[in-house]
Structure 1
Amino acid sequence: MAKLQWSSWMALSEIRAEAEGMVLEPAGTKDAAYAWQPVADVVETAEDFRVVLELPGVSREDVSVEARGRFLVVEGRRAFAKETEGGVYQVLERSYGPFCRRFALPKGVSRVEIAAVMKDGVLVVLVPKVRPELLRRRIPIS
């Protein structure tokens, strides 16, 4: 086994490779490109998976829920609203701007029947499981 002589120039080449990878990836594929990520819970019941996201201050029109490939993608934007006229913020802890959360869809779910409900700043996405009788169906032969 050969001994590798590390140098600081190697780190620069790693940084360059990472930067090239970021440029070559399609826009929106990395969660780190977004300003913030809402907190989420995923609960599995006998009938479905429920994804619950906290989105206070985000309007229903500013959120999109899509099934893309093997993922459930929730994207949106929380607009910055300056609440004090002429004042200067001393502390600004709330996050604003675009957000994205991606959840892997397990096998055995119905992508066609996914539903979403938003109320009081909480988004609930229901991903129903395929019922066993729908997984197997006898096809009549004519």
Structure 2
Amino acid sequence: MDLRLLGIDNTPLFHTLHHMMEAAGEDSVNAPSKIYVRDAKAMAATPADVKEYPNSYVFVVDMPGLKSGDIKVQVEEDNVLLISGERKREEEKEGAKFIRMERRVGKFMRKFSLPENANTDAISAVCQDGVLTVTVQKLPPPEPKKPKTIEVKVA
């Protein structure tokens, strides 16, 4: 499979995948699966900004034209934040045909490893004006242990 046909040959991730596929041959057991390549494409096509504040982490992802029902925000095992969904092609009206189609349609996905101090029970997600903002609150820092004094007995 020639990844250049997908229009994604200028990213480092896909350059590496393309090289692996050429070296191994497409029918090789060691070649990346079509699902892996599809998921990698979905991740590469979903850029995000991540900010750290004193009390939270904020993930900002552009989601133009999507409704809240088209977007899924989950926390997977090992503190992995997963943002996924699908942008569907609009229905063609009778008599209209596309002259140019540049807006991306299909599945999208991003995964982020959350730090240990992320409070996975305090996550909020808001999509406004085509921008998804996911806020993950931080856990309070653990209280430092006070030294324990042990009485020394005379024998």
Task: Tell me the TM-score normalised to structure 1 length.
Answer: 0.71
1:96 matched to 2:105? The reply is yes
Cα shift at 1:36: 6.9
Distance 2:72 2:51 in 1: 20
Identity %: 32
Distance 1:54 1:29 in 2: 22
Cα shift at 1:118: 1.4
Q: Which has the higher contact order (CA 8 A, sep 6+)?
A: 1
CA contact (8 A) 1:36 1:98 kept: no
Partner of 2:50: 42
CA contact (8 A) 1:44 1:50 kept: yes
Gaps of 5+ in 1: 1-9
1:129 matched to 2:141? The reply is no
1:16 matched to 2:28? The reply is yes
CA RMSD of aligned residues (A): 3.0
Distance 2:29 2:41 in 1: 17
**SS of alignment partner, residue 74 of structure 1:** strand
Gaps of 5+ in 2: 1-21, 146-155
Residue-pair matches, total? 123
Distance 2:132 2:139 in 1: 22
**SS of alignment partner, residue 40 of structure 2:** helix
Specify the structure having the higher radius of gyration (Cα): 2
